[in-house]
Copies of this chain bind each other. A is one copy, B any other.
Amino acid sequence: MLNVALIGLGYWGRNLLRVLSGNPRLKLAAVVDLRPDLKEKLALSHPGVAAHDDVAAVMTDPAIDAVVIATPVASHYMLARAALEAGKHVMVEKPMCASVAEATDLMARARLYGLNLMVDHTFLFHPAVRKLGELVHSGALGQISYFDSQRVNLGLFQPDVNVIWDLAPHDLSIINFLFGCQPIDVEASGYRHFDRGSADIAYLTLHYPGNLIAHLNLSWMSPVKVRRIAIGGSAQMAVWDDLNRDEPVKIYDSGITFHPQQDRERLLPSYRIGSVHSPRVAGPEPLVEVVEHFRRVILGEEACLTDGAFGLSIVRTLEQAQAQLDANFSRLGTLGPQEGTAAMRAVDQ
């Protein structure tokens, strides 16, 4: 049975702990984290799992077959590289790492060593995304013209990344999954409202081949949580509202057709407003599927859906967006709020 080690017990790491230890077809052998009471707590809750405060313990343990990395983004590269060098398969949290250079290096190493490198883009295993995939891939929506995402809520400021690196990977991975293509142009704008902080609001506009435009509205500053993706097609349109418990996915049998006029100068639009269909969207917990997929990928039973190349494609777009954001900040001569005018400034005294 596959022996797996988990590095990092933050918010998502705790979910991985639960799911890894709940999969009867693999063995969670060790957990690495720095918090002082780890050993005691784990001994109580997961008696058979070793607890370490040093990654070396798992890297040098020949019994460990695979490592799952759930640490801050800045450390992804070094940890994944160390694990690959130690001959272990790797699953790393999204985003895969902090730059295209890092991602390319990791991919090359995995290939060289003949190891699997997978990125945990959990949303690709979400039943609603699977349903959207069916709709897009079957042609039910027709030719897709836009992808519009609003992903905003209050807070969860990340210490090491800005709102783009935090939230955009979700949408970018879904776009890649649905349309299988890379943006030909990336625009990004945003704002940071706090001194010494990173961008907390960002708007991304992405142009894709085939006349597809994507737009992401990302924010840590909204009092209301919104998780809503709209996809417009020539035949139908679909909206996924992740907070709508009863009807998360709606398919609108609505559209616009343009009719040429006699004189060929102008087209007359006609609107079709039809019924709305909300398919049953249900399935196992996505992370359970992710972990099982990782296991099967290692055993050669399945091709990896979110391999290094997939993860790299996301990081490339993030890097492009970051460059645009930086250019915009420079052009505007302001890296956020000015001293003395900070909109919502820190309580400094």
Contact = CB atoms under 8 A, between A and B. Distances in A.
Interface in A254-311: 254-260, 265-267, 269, 271, 273-280, 282
A335 to B, nearest CB: 11
Contact of A267 (B224, B269, B346): B346
B144 A343 contact: yes
B344 A234 contact: yes
Contacts of A61: none
Contacts of A277: 275-278
Given A223-B239, A234-B345, 15 more contacts: A47-B47, A143-B344, A145-B344, A146-B191, A146-B221, A154-B271, A191-B213, A196-B265, A211-B336, A217-B217, A223-B230, A223-B255, A257-B344, A257-B346, A275-B279
A271 to B, nearest CB: 5
A201 B214 CA distance: 11
The complex is assembled from copies of this chain, and their number is 4
25 contacts: A142-B344, A143-B343, A145-B193, A145-B343, A146-B201, A148-B219, A150-B150, A154-B271, A157-B256, A184-B332, A191-B211, A196-B266, A210-B343, A211-B341, A211-B343, A215-B217, A222-B230, A224-B230, A225-B246, A233-B344, A255-B344, A257-B347, A260-B346, A267-B346, A277-B277
Contacts of A237: 222-223
Nearest to A349: B260
A221 B267 contact: no
B210 A341 contact: yes
A131 to B, nearest CB: 11
Given A212-B343, A343-B143, A347-B257, A155 B269 contact: yes
Contacts of A280: 253, 273-275
Interface in A45-87: 47
A260 to B, nearest CB: 5
A157 B222 contact: no
Contacts of A328: 187
A177 interface: no
Contacts of A273: 154, 223, 280, 282
A276 B154 CA distance: 14
Contacts of A155: 256, 269, 271
Contact of A239 (B145, B224, B342): B224
Contact of A187 (B185, B187, B224): B187
Given A187-B187, A259-B346, A271-B155, A213 B201 contact: yes
A228 to B, nearest CB: 9
A260 B348 contact: yes
A215 B277 CA distance: 28
A207 B331 CA distance: 12
In the A-B complex, the 4 residue pairs with the closest CB atoms: A223-B252, A258-B346, A145-B343, A234-B344
